[in-house]
Amino acid sequence: MTDLETRTAGRSGATGPPGALRRAAPALLGYTAVRALGLLALALWSAARDKSAYTLLTARWDSLWYTRVAELGYGYEVRLPNGDVHSNLAFFPLLPWLERLGAAVAPLSYADAGFAVSLLASLAAAWGIFAVADHVYGRRAGVCAVLLWAVLPVGIVQSMAYSESLFTALAAWSLYAVLTGRWVTAGALAALAGLTRPVGLAVTAAVWAAAAVAFARDGDRRDGRERARRVLGMLLAPLGAAGYVLWVGHRTGKGPLGYLDVQAGWRNGFDGGAAFARFVAGKFTSLPGALAGVGLIVAVALLVWLHVVCVRRRQPLPLLVYTGIVALLALCASSYFGSKPRLLLPAFPLLFPLAQGLARLRTAGSAAVVCGVAAASAVYGAFWLNGSGPP
């Protein structure tokens, strides 16, 4: 056991998974209550509009592409009149694999399996977020961090047959493994995260950054076994994303950069935020649009401010690296702009300064804040998913 692990065990009082689960129980119960409220609001709103809430959660947008991959494999594409080619090779394989597994071992459709995976993964993500925040800031802040993640305006995505919850769970537990010196576990989870979404690069970068600092800190000390585990974790971390990207390049016959061509067919790319800036500027051509433009600017400023606060409060380097890359890729990609809020869902360490502030309130005060925001989030999620929703 490393020094970091010893400190963690001492703080939590946990003696293993059962003890860790008991420690996280308030966070998980609170998370379940918030998400249940969101699903109830969605069911009532959808019924009033004569829509199926379950269809909205499992059979629209990206969820259809994932279930198609699970059922038929890769190779499907849609050619649009403007020449764009939407290929299912853009979707990483771990969620479809789990959907296929769920349909094989239980009487579930692929869509049912995707929904089940998301529900379980969202709980694993909540537990992982708690574990990270508890390790760095203490139990109360950990509970608050989970509740804040649950009440995000686009939190309904956590219950959809999308890959955000699965990715966040793998990322959170990989970061926790890094913080507690479990290098092989961190690398293996990073590899799985890399099989889930392209932003798995952020988890790999966090593992590498932490390992580089650890090697520099070691100096001339020789701990061959620990160094070997660290190196193995670094080697494992990029295998998932690199393996899939290289496979796509081989399948398309376009070499290592073939995946970029697939993304280009969806008009996805990295332009440093130029397209997003033009999108925001375009909002100022009318009064209603100007209000939306101001809201977008304020939202981006808030994200930057939260990251600056994380830096000033000396948040651990792996968390800063991870969050920075997730936010950078979300904001500076030229993809559909309506998807940016959900792409930021995995950037949970940005919530830690807010969680610390919430944790300093009296229990009654923090509960009132969470309940109020949870109600607003549930209503917004129902309205959003019955309207434009996540692309």
Interval 172-211: pLDDT, tens? 999 999 999 999 999 999 999 999 999 999 999 999 999 9
Of residues 340 and 128, more confidently modeled: 128
Structure tokens at 216: 């520099």
Confidence (pLDDT) at 17: 74
Read off the DSSP letter of residue 222.
Answer: -
372, amino acid identity? G
CA 305 to centroid of chain Cα atoms: 20
109-124 residue pLDDT tens: 999 999 999 999 999 9
C-beta of residue 64 within 8 angstroms of C-beta of residue 122: no
Q: 155-191 as b/e, with b when 16 or more CB fall inside 10 Å?
A: bbbbbbbbbbbbbbbbbbbbbbbbbbbbbbbbbbbbb
Stated pTM of the model: 0.93
Residues 6+ apart with CB under 8 A from 284: 290, 293
Q: How far apart are CA 280 and CA 275, in angstroms?
A: 9
Residues 6+ apart with CB under 8 A from 206: 174, 175, 178, 190, 318, 319, 321, 322
Confidence (pLDDT) at 64: 96
Confidence (pLDDT) at 13: 43
- Reference 159, options 68, 60, 36; nearest CA is 36
Confidence (pLDDT) at 198: 93
Read off the DSSP letter of residue 333.
Answer: B
Mean pLDDT value across residues 130-155: 97
250-263 residue pLDDT tens: 999 998 889 999 99
Residue 228 pLDDT more than 70?
A: yes
**Percent with pLDDT over 70 in the chain:** 95
Residue 371 pLDDT more than 60?
A: yes
Confidence (pLDDT) at 318: 97
Q: How high is the mean pLDDT of the chain?
A: 91
18 confidence band (pLDDT: 50, 70, 90): confident
The maximal CA–CA distance of the chain, rounded, in angstroms, is: 69
Residue 280 pLDDT more than 90?
A: no
C-beta of residue 375 within 8 angstroms of C-beta of residue 38: no
Confidence (pLDDT) at 47: 96
273 confidence band (pLDDT: 50, 70, 90): confident
- Reference 32, options 102, 99, 122; nearest CA is 122
Q: How far apart are CA 82 and CA 85, in angstroms?
A: 9
Confidence (pLDDT) at 65: 96
Q: How far apart are CA 117 and CA 335, in angstroms?
A: 26
Of residues 275 and 113, more confidently modeled: 113
Of residues 248 and 16, more confidently modeled: 248
Confidence (pLDDT) at 333: 83
308-365 residue pLDDT tens: 999 999 999 999 999 999 999 999 887 777 788 899 999 999 999 999 999 999 989 9
